[in-house]
Amino acid sequence: MQNARAFFDELNKHYLRLLRTEGDLYWATHTGQSNEHEALGAASLSRKMFSADAERLAQCHAYLSMLDTAESSPERDALVSGLRGWVALFEANAIGTDRAAALLSELIERDVDLYARRQAYTMNHIGAEGRRENASPAALRSNLASNPDESARQSSHEALHGLERWIVESGFVEIVGKRNELARELGYRNFFDYRLRTNSGMTPEQLFEIFDGFEASTRDAHQQSLHRLVTEHGEQALLPRNLTYLMQGGASQRHEAYFPFGKALERWAESFRRMGVSYRGARLEIDLLDRQGKFPTGFCIAPTPGYHDDTDGWTPADVRFTSTARPQQAGAGLQGLNVLFHEAGHAAHYANVTRNSPCFSQEFAPSSPALLEAQAKFFDALPADPCWMRRYAMDAAGKPMPEEAIRARVDTRQAFLAYSERRDLIPTYFEWALYNMDDAQRTPDSVLELARSVTKRILGIEGHTNYALATPHPIYHDIAVYYHGYLLAKMAAAQTRAYLIRSLGYIVDNPTVGPLLAEHYWAPGNSATLDQTLFALTGETLNASYLAADCNRSADDAWQLSQEVFRRSERATPSTPRGDLDASISIVHGAQRIASNDESLSALYAEFEAWAARLGSAA
């Protein structure tokens, strides 16, 4: 038993060191503070090779065989549970041959090189002020959604398509071929098959049975929304430069006063606190603003995941996450809020895993994308919830959002919800087809044409890629064949919301929600599958029909449902919010520390709001 304990403890300590080294370098390079890309590549390779170690896997099996004959005791049972977690990690990351190890090393080098060159690549468009300016992908997408000038929106569209062209001509096509080589060396059909099986525990056939069904069940609602758009605005409405802007109906401009950027932090923290979310003593570092050189989407990493060490007790998490807010741009407050809720949901997950090893609570395999993203997708839907808007959406003077404005947002969102959710199908169908192409057929032009054809099939939009290759997920190694997790997560989140509304009556500001999620979804970490966590709480495994029903619901029905839920929340016995998030929170802008809760949460809100106001006055 002592040898097994020493081996297990060393696994935990060694892996923590690897996670911290890689996490620190990832944070510095992906927030634009460092160019240590080679060091990050080396750290990433070290973690991957440790996770692929066949000798350590054999030792785990040997110790488990020994412990199987030992009498049950708390120490023995904890060791068995922990070692099984390590077996799952080693098996999910197994490499097996020297050739596979060499291919993985080459892929990491190519990945690091592509990312470094991508950081140096600049784009520009005509922004909100009517002049040409450098822009990040987040700024380009925001401009497409909010700028009333069609020529300005066209400039953003061209810049995103230009980025896609740069990607396919800058080594990505060759990387795809190398990824397939690695997968076939390991005995899989292609890289999609390999990554899906090892990271998500499912076959492509199983995944596409779910996705094909969802696509078919939401097709009519989507086509009706496009017909409505064309009826109101003409065929020009379906041009990529017009689509997002017209779907939102100018809502970003009309209602943005009720989502001021300076209040985003307070509204996140108070929403989570009142739902009983605790971060169990974690350190949270949050970098909210978009800037040149920063990763183009929000992300969350846990250089130290939370876990309960058998000897030393609770180890609080060190979690860091970003948003890509642009406070001077229309809709920035709401966009920043959505990303903040999403990444804070990830942080709550990493901070609340209570198993006895960091292998259960980190973001790599065997943690499945769908399991990870389900926690974030549950929370990022809240700012669109009419109940949430009634309680939190206020202008700078504290005036609540009018009921008719809330109804207008519900109507607009519901009219195009099928379109929004179907967009998540595109990267997955695209990647599956991409890795099935023969190497000789895979060229920059054929890859771009593939993206256009998939977009046409799913959305019915001609000559458009839906910017699939301007999204980082298909491009970079660790998040390739990941995007399917978002749609599966949305399905799980819709199922969770439906269950909580049935059982609790309401969700927003319900202090029972956080503890329920912590017990059933977060505590097990990756020792439970998404299906198992869903069954533990809702009594059923993943069921896509809840999200499909949301997409197919009329605006009137969606409004009536929200009215009933709000009435239940108003009738509920008022309860005192639980705790103060139990986290040490720092808000940063790169290396600059903006605000903290060292004194109190209210002081954090005030410091951040004052900083945001200074940003606005300097614009």
Q: What is the pLDDT of residue 278?
A: 97
Q: What is the pLDDT of residue 253?
A: 66
Instruction: Please state the rounded mean pLDDT for residues 255-274.
Output: 93
Q: Alpha-carbon distance 570 to 554, whole Å?
A: 25
Q: What angle do CA 266, 488, 408 make, to 5 degrees?
A: 50
Q: Looking at 76, 99, 122, which one is the last position of a domain?
A: 99
Q: SS in 3 state form for 295-325? A: CCCCCEEEEECCEEECCCEEECCEEEEEEEE
Domains of the chain: total: 2
Q: SS in 3 state form for 190-248? A: CHHHHHHHHHHCCCHHHHHHHHHHHHHHHHHHHHHHHHHHHHHHCHHHHCHHHHHHHHH
Residue 175 lies in a domain: no
397/532: higher pLDDT: 532
Residue 619 has pLDDT above 60, yes or no: no
Phi, psi (rounded to 5 degrees) for 118: -65, -40
Residue 424 lies in a domain: yes
Mark whether 442 and 581 lie in a shared domain: yes
Say if CB 383 and CB 406 are below 8 A apart.
no
Residue 162 lies in a domain: no
Residue 348 lies in a domain: yes
Q: What is the pLDDT of residue 336?
A: 82
Model confidence pLDDT, tens digit, residues 320-348: 999 988 887 767 778 888 999 999 999 99
User: How are beta strands 132-134 and 318-325 bridged, if at all?
Assistant: unpaired
Residue 165 lies in a domain: no
Say if CB 83 and CB 67 are below 8 A apart.
yes
Q: What is the pLDDT of residue 107?
A: 97
Q: What is the pLDDT of residue 332?
A: 72
Instruction: Please state the rounded mean pLDDT for residues 110-118.
Output: 96
Q: What is the pLDDT of residue 396?
A: 86
Segment (H or E) for 593: strand 592-596
Residue 193 lies in a domain: no
Residue 33 has pLDDT above 70, yes or no: yes
Is cis: bond before 366, omega within 30 of 0? yes
Residue 404 lies in a domain: yes
| Whole-Å CA distances, 518 to 84, 285, 348, 524, 615 | 22, 21, 8, 9, 36
Cβ-Cβ contacts under 8 Å for 297 (sequence gap 6 or more): 137, 138, 324, 471, 472
Mark whether 372 and 240 lie in a shared domain: yes
Q: How many CB atoms lie within 10 A of CB 423?
A: 18
Q: What is the pLDDT of residue 443?
A: 98
Q: What is the pTM of this model?
A: 0.97
Q: What is the pLDDT of residue 577?
A: 61
Instruction: Please state the rounded mean pLDDT for residues 135-161.
Output: 94
Mark whether 89 and 224 lie in a shared domain: no
Q: Alpha-carbon distance 334 to 331, whole Å?
A: 6
Q: What is the pLDDT of residue 575?
A: 65
Q: What is the pLDDT of residue 324?
A: 87
Q: Looking at 50, 80, 99, which one is the last position of a domain?
A: 99
Positive/negative CA dihedral, 410, 414, 415, 419? positive
Task: Output the six-digit token pair for 245.
Answer: 């802007």
Domain that holds residue 14: 1-99
Q: What is the pLDDT of residue 581?
A: 97
Burial 183-203 (b: 16+ CB within 10 A, else e): bbbbebebbbbbbbbbbbbbe
User: How are beta strands 583-589 and 282-289 bridged, if at all?
Assistant: parallel
List, as one string, the DSSP characters of 50-67: HHT-HHHHHHHHHHHHHH
CA-nearest of 364, 403, 282 to 19 is: 364
The chain-wide mean pLDDT, for the chain, equals: 95
Model confidence pLDDT, tens digit, residues 165-211: 999 999 999 999 999 999 999 999 999 999 999 999 999 999 999 99
Instruction: Please state the rounded mean pLDDT for residues 457-485.
Output: 97
Q: Alpha-carbon distance 318 to 22, whole Å?
A: 13
Q: Alpha-carbon distance 493 to 373, whole Å?
A: 9
Q: What percent of the chain has pLDDT over 90?
A: 91
Whose tokens are 């943005």? That residue is: 256
Q: Looking at 99, 126, 158, which one is the last position of a domain?
A: 99
Task: Output the six-digit token pair for 591.
Answer: 């290396």
Say if CB 269 and CB 581 are below 8 A apart.
yes
Q: What is the pLDDT of residue 578?
A: 65
Residue 122 has pLDDT above 90, yes or no: yes
Residue 454 sits in a domain whose CATH number is: 1.10.1370
Model confidence pLDDT, tens digit, residues 531-581: 999 999 999 999 999 999 999 999 999 999 999 999 999 998 766 666 799
Q: What is the pLDDT of residue 306?
A: 96
Residue 596 has pLDDT above 60, yes or no: yes
> Roughly what angle, to the nearest 10 degrees, separates helices 191-200 and 425-436?
130
Q: What is the pLDDT of residue 615?
A: 85
Say if CB 197 and CB 188 are below 8 A apart.
yes
Q: What percent of the chain has pLDDT over 70?
A: 97
Residue 198 lies in a domain: no
Instruction: Please state the rounded mean pLDDT for residues 369-389.
Output: 97
Beta strands, E only, 67-217 = 124-126, 132-134
Burial 236-253 (b: 16+ CB within 10 A, else e): ebbbbbbbbbbbbbebbe
